[in-house]
Amino acid sequence: MTTPVLFLLNHTRPLQKTLGVLGDLCRDRDLWSIQVWVCPDEELLRLVTPAGWEALTGHSVVSERELPKYLEQKPLAVLCQSWRKELASLLAHSGVPVLILGDELPPGLPPGSAALPEFDAMEILQRLEQLASPQDFAGKTVLVTAGPTAEDIDPVRFITNRSSGKMGVAIAWAAAMRGARVLLIHGPMTTEVPDLPNLERFPVRSAQQMHDAVRQHWQEAQVAVLCAAVADFRPDYYVPQKIKKIEGEGMVLHLERTPDILAELGAMPNHPFLVGFAAETDDVEINALNKLRRKHCDLLCANDIRKPGSGFAGDTNQITIYAPDGTVLALPMLSKQAAAYRILEEIAKRI
Ligand code: C5P
């Protein structure tokens, strides 16, 4: 489903800038499930014809006369390029949140309205996503672990795995959109972390560092989603100089176990609502149920990494959620963002 948003445009800013932001919004509209409608003022309509606006947005322009009728259809938000006093009463009574692309928020606008002094398309899209999300995690702190860990052998070599961190970042993002304060503890990963005021990042490198960061912060959280692909083994000895190869000789690497962060947290009295992940290649259900019980999780999300589209670095995932009461919820193949939303819905029902 896509949600309509309306952009009220006038010629108070350079046209190039207006078209730039609008172009970015329209380019990403499918990704963010929005439809962009515009209501340009007379002057802008002289500079760009209605057909031009329609080519850009995919929708015919909304005239000022049609505004009241359009607002009755309850778009997600009205974006105001600058405040227009003559529309104040109409917007105030519409119930539709208004995003002012400027410094000041006039009084009396519907709940959810905000001023966005820095208004690039990304900031606007984040606000829209927030408006579209239920605020069921407001007042809660959610701790998320994400990405791989790296276990150093010597200053140049290390052991790691294929985790991209995308699933964990998607969970962190979705929780932040639903109003949570998010503590994201992540290993070395290439996935970008969005810059959000309610998302704090704690970058770490090794399983031990991730363990220590979780220990430091878990008491602040009501929910912990441990998504990281923590290395199970690390070299039992770190060699501070680069290990030299010796002609004709191999090398034996001794590995020891890393701390199991999830199991340790599950064993704590009063632990947060605990969600574990299990990436499996065989006997997915048996392994998932085992992990759920053994690590005292409140939910366990399992995926079969042999299935196409369900692997480590991709953008999609097919997850089955197991609960201790025997509930099994098999989600379809979804984008990692959509899967994250579904997982949070299941958490919200239980906290
Ligand atoms: O036993 P396995 O590693 O498959 O369990 C996966 C789950 O346990 C994931 O939620 C992962 O983040 C967590 N885990 C952990 N610490 C470890 C190993 C796994 O928190 N050392």
97-106: list long-range contacts, CB under 8 Å, 24+ apart: 97/131, 99/124, 99/127, 99/128
Query: Is 198 assigned a catalytic role?
Result: no
Nearest CA to ligand 1 atom 7: 277
- pLDDT number for residue 14: 85
Give percent of the chain with pLDDT exceeding 70: 99
- pLDDT number for residue 1: 66
Facing residues of 335 across strands? 316
Q: Quote the CA–CA distance of 214 and 224 in Å, as a whole number.
A: 9
Q: Is the predicted pLDDT of residue 71 greater than 90, yes or no?
A: yes
Question: Atom of ligand 1 at shortest distance to CA of 227?
Answer: 12
Nearest CA to ligand 1 atom 5: 278
Q: Is the predicted pLDDT of residue 318 greater than 80, yes or no?
A: yes
With the most atoms of ligand 1 within 8 angstroms of its CB, the residue from 230, 257, 343 to mutate is 230
Q: Which CATH architecture has domain 141-350?
A: 3-Layer(aba) Sandwich (3.40)
Q: Where are the domains of the chain?
A: 3-132, 141-350
Q: Decide if 164 contacts 312 (C-beta within 8 A).
A: yes
Q: Is the predicted pLDDT of residue 189 greater than 70, yes or no?
A: yes
- pLDDT number for residue 323: 97
Q: Is the predicted pLDDT of residue 24 greater than 70, yes or no?
A: yes
Query: How high does pLDDT run on average in the chain?
Result: 94
Residue tagged 């006093």 (tokens): 85
Q: Quote the CA–CA distance of 2 and 35 in Å, as a whole number.
A: 6
Confidence of residue 80 (pLDDT cuts 50, 70, 90): very high
Confidence of residue 188 (pLDDT cuts 50, 70, 90): very high
With the most atoms of ligand 1 within 8 angstroms of its CB, the residue from 209, 261, 273, 297 to mutate is 261
Q: Quote the CA–CA distance of 150 and 159 in Å, as a whole number.
A: 6
Q: What are the tens digits of pLDDT across the range 103-120?
A: 889 999 999 999 998 778
Pair of tokens at residue 255: 């590995």
- One of 3.40.640.10, 3.40.50.1220, 3.30.930.10, 3.40.190.80 is the CATH number of 3-132, namely 3.40.50.1220
Q: Is 321 in the pocket of ligand 1 (CB under 6 A)?
A: no
Q: pTM, whole model, 2 decimals?
A: 0.88
Instruction: Tell me, yes or no, if the two domains 3-132 and 141-350 fold the same way.
Output: yes
Q: Is 207 in the pocket of ligand 1 (CB under 6 A)?
A: yes
